[in-house]
C-alpha cells in the first residue's frame, strides 16, 4: 500500500518549527506573567484593604463605639461576611478574603475583631484601575506573543532559506555529475562563508564522485586494453580461417571469427566513447535526403518517410552509425515492417515487435545487457550503447519508448527509438544528456 507523502521545503519546516516553539514559549510566559501580576495586585489589594479597615477601627475605637457608627465604609457585624473570614475572626485574628464574582472582578474583604466581641469589616470591589492595568498587560502580552510568532517565522524563513539554497545548489551540482559532468564539484557549487553539515554532505558526494570516476576509468582502461590485445590474435584467426578449405566447418569458423572481430571493434568503440575524447566532424546536410539514401543502402526493405526536410549540422559518419545500430537492433529483436520517419530534426525508427524491455526504458541502454527474454535471444547489448554514445558526441538525444502500453497484445505495438538532433552544433562531447521526455513516453496514436 502506497503511503501518502506531504512534500514541503526545508525553509517552511524550519519556519513552522521556530514559530511553534516561539508560540509555546510566548503563551507559557504570558500565562506566568499574567498570573504573577494578578496575584501581586490581589495581595496588594488585601494589604490596602486591611490598612483601610485598621484606620476605620482606630477612628471607631477613639470615639464612642456605642453612639457612632463605623466610618470609611466599614460595617459592624455585617451578616454577608464570608464564612471562612468569619471563622478567622472568631479566632481573634485579623484576616482578609478575596472572592471571585460573576463579572470577573473579585471582591476584597477585610475583618478585625473588636474588644467587645463585635466584628468590624470592610468590603470593596477590586479597583477599576487595577483591572485596567491587567487588561493593558494582557493586551501587551498578546501583542508580544504575536510578534514573537511572526518574528520566529521570519527568522525561520531566513535561516531555512539559506539552508534550502545550499541544498538546492548541492542537488543541482549532483544532478550535473549524474549527467556526466565529472568536473563539477558539489562543494564549490555550494560555496558560502558559513560551514555546516551541507559542506560535509558536499565533500562526501565529491569523494564518492571521485571514487566512481576512478573506478569507471579503471574499468574503461581494462576493457580497452583487453579489446586492443584481442584485436591482433582475432585478426590472425580471421586470416587463418580464410586459408581453410571450403566446407561447412570452414564457414562456421569464419562466421565465429568475424563475430569475435565485430565484438572487439564494438568494445573498443564503447571504450573510446566512454573516455569523452571523441569529437564530431560537422557538415551541413539535408537530414531527410541523407537518411533516405543511407537507409536505402543499409536495408532497402525499410520504409522511409520524410515529413519535413531540414538542414542540420552533424557528423555524417556518426549519424550513419547510429542509424545502422538502430536498424540492426530492430532487425534482431523486432519484427517487420520497420519504419523510419524524418520530421525536421527528429528521426524515429519503429519496428512492430514486442517492444523494449522495462529495464532499458527505465535505465537506458547498458553494455552486455540485452533485456528481457522475448527480446534478448542474441546480441551483446552494445548496439544501443554505441548509438547512445555517438548521439552524445553529436550533442543529440536518443530516447526509447514503446508504441503500446505494457500488457497490450503482441503485434499491436513495437519499439520506437527517437533521435533528436540539436539546433546548434555541439561545442563539447555530451553537451546534451540522454533524457526521456514526457511526450516521448506517451504512445502515439
pLDDT in tens, 226-279: 666 666 676 777 677 777 777 787 778 777 777 777 777 767 667 776 666 677
- What mean pLDDT do residues 155-183 have? 79
Do 23 and 107 lie in one domain? The reply is yes
Sequential DSSP letters for 366-419: BTTB--SGGG-SS--SHHHHHHHHHHHHTT-EEEEEESS-TTPPTTS--EEEEE
The mean-pLDDT minimum among 23-37, 135-149, 351-365, 425-439 falls in 425-439
Residues 21 and 58 in one domain: yes
408 and 301 assigned to the same domain: yes
pLDDT band at 439 (very low <50, low <70, confident <90, very high): very low
Is 444 a domain residue? no
Residue 159 lies in a domain: no
> Phi then psi for 405, rounded to 5 degrees?
-65, 165
- Here the cell at position 265 is 571493434
Query: What is the reported pLDDT for 220?
Result: 67
Residue-wise pLDDT for 275-310, tens only, equals: 666 777 888 888 888 888 888 888 888 888 888 888
Domain-ending residue, one of 277, 302, 336: 277
The pLDDT value recorded for residue 357 is 82
Helix (H, G, I), strand (E, B) or coil at 312: strand
Rounded distance between C-alpha atoms, residue 231 and residue 386, angstroms: 19
Residue where one domain finishes, among candidates 237, 258, 277: 277
Whether residue 434 lies inside any domain: the answer is no
Cα angle: 216, vertex 219, 224; to 5 degrees: 125
Number of domains in the chain: 3
Domain limits at 271?
Answer: 185-277
* Residue 172 falls inside a structural domain: no
pTM of the model: 0.49
Let me know whether 288 and 319 are in one domain: yes
| Residues 287, 421 share a domain | yes
Tens-place pLDDT, residues 33-56: 888 888 888 888 888 888 888 888
Beta strands in 235-384 (DSSP E): 283-286, 303-308, 311-314, 339-343, 346-350
pLDDT of residue 438: 39
Domain boundary pick from 277, 306, 337? 277
Within a domain: 195: yes
Clarify whether residues 55 and 74 are in a common domain.
yes
Share of the chain above pLDDT 70, in %: 75
Residues 6 or more apart from 26 whose CB is under 8 A from it?
Answer: 144, 145, 148, 149
**Among 400, 406, 276, residue whose Cα is nearest residue 349:** 400
Residues 299 and 203 in one domain: no
Residues 24 and 86 occupy one common structural domain:
yes
Same domain, 338 and 237: no
* DSSP structural state of residue 428: S
What CATH number does residue 272 fall under?
1.10.287.130
Q: Say if 303 falls within a structural domain.
A: yes
Output the domain CATH number for residue 355: 3.30.565.10
Residues 213 and 256 placed together within one structural domain of the fold: yes
**Residue 178 maps to a domain:** no
Q: Please give the grid coordinates belonging to residue 434.
A: 540522454
Domain for residue 173, yes or no?
no
Quick one: 125 and 239 in the same domain? no
Do 301 and 197 have their domain in common? no
Amino acid at each position: 500500500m502506497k503511503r501518502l507523502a506531504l512534500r514541503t521545503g526545508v525553509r517552511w519546516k524550519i519556519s513552522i518549527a521556530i514559530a511553534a516553539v516561539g508560540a509555546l514559549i510566548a503563551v507559557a510566559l504570558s500565562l506566568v506573567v499574567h498570573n504573577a501580576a494578578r496575584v501581586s495586585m490581589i495581595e496588594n489589594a488585601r494589604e490596602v484593604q486591611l490598612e483601610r479597615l485598621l484606620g476605620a477601627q482606630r477612628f471607631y475605637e477613639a470615639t464612642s463605639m456605642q453612639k457612632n457608627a463605623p466610618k470609611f465604609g466599614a460595617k459592624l457585624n455585617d451578616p454577608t461576611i464570608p464564612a471562612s473570614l468569619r471563622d478567622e475572626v472568631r479566632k481573634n485574628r485579623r484576616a482578609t478574603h478575596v472572592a471571585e464574582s460573576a463579572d470577573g472582578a473579585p471582591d476584597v474583604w477585610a475583618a478585625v475583631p473588636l474588644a467587645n466581641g463585635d466584628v468590624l469589616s470592610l468590603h470593596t470591589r477590586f479597583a477599576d484601575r487595577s483591572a485596567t492595568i491587567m487588561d493593558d498587560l494582557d493586551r501587551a502580552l498578546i501583542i508580544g506573543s504575536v510578534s514573537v510568532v511572526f518574528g520566529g517565522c521570519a527568522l525561520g524563513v531566513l535561516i531555512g532559506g539559506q539552508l534550502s539554497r545550499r541544498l538546492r545548489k548541492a542537488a543541482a551540482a549532483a544532478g550535473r555529475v549524474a549527467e556526466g559532468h565529472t568536473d563539477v564539484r558539489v562543494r564549490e557549487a555550494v560555496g558560502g562563508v558559513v560551514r555546516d553539515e551541507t559542506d560535509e554532505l558536499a565533500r562526501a558526494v565529491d569523494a564518492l564522485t571521485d571514487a566512481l570516476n576512478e573506478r569507471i576509468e579503471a574499468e574503461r582502461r581494462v576493457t580497452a586494453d583487453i579489446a586492443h590485445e584481442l584485436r591482433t590474435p582475432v585478426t590472425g584467426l580471421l586470416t587463418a580461417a580464410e586459408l581453410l578449405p571450403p566446407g561447412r566447418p570452414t564457414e562456421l569458423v569464419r562466421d565465429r571469427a568475424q563475430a569475435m572481430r565485430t565484438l572487439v571493434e564494438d568494445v573498443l568503440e564503447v571504450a573510446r566513447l566512454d573516455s569523452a575524447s571523441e569529437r564530431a566532424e560537422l557538415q551541413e546536410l539535408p537530414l531527410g535526403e541523407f537518411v533516405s539514401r543511407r537507409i536505402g543502402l543499409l536495408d532497402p526493405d525499410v520504409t522511409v518517410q520524410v515529413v519535413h526536410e531540414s538542414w542540420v549540422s552533424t557528423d555524417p559518419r556518426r549519424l550513419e552509425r547510429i542509424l545502422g545500430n538502430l536498424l540492426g537492433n530492430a532487425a534482431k529483436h523486432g519484427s517487420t515492417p520497420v519504419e523510419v520517419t524524418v520530421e525536421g530534426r527528429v528521426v524515429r525508427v519503429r519496428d512492430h515487435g514486442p517492444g523494449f524491455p522495462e529495464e532499458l526504458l527505465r535505465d537506458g541502454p547498458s553494455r552486455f545487457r540485452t533485456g528481457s527474454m522475448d527480446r534478448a535471444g542474441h546480441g551483446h547489448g552494445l548496439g544501443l550503447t554505441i548509438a547512445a554514445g555517438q548521439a552524445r558526441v553529436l550533442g543529440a538525444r536518443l530516447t526509447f519508448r514503446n508504441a503500446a502500453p505494457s500488457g497490450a497484445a503482441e503485434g499491436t505495438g513495437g519499439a520506437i527509438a527517437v533521435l533528436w538532433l540539436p539546433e546548434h552544433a555541439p561545442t563539447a562531447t555530451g553537451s546534451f544528456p540522454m533524457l526521456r521526455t514526457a511526450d516521448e513516453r506517451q504512445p502515439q496514436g
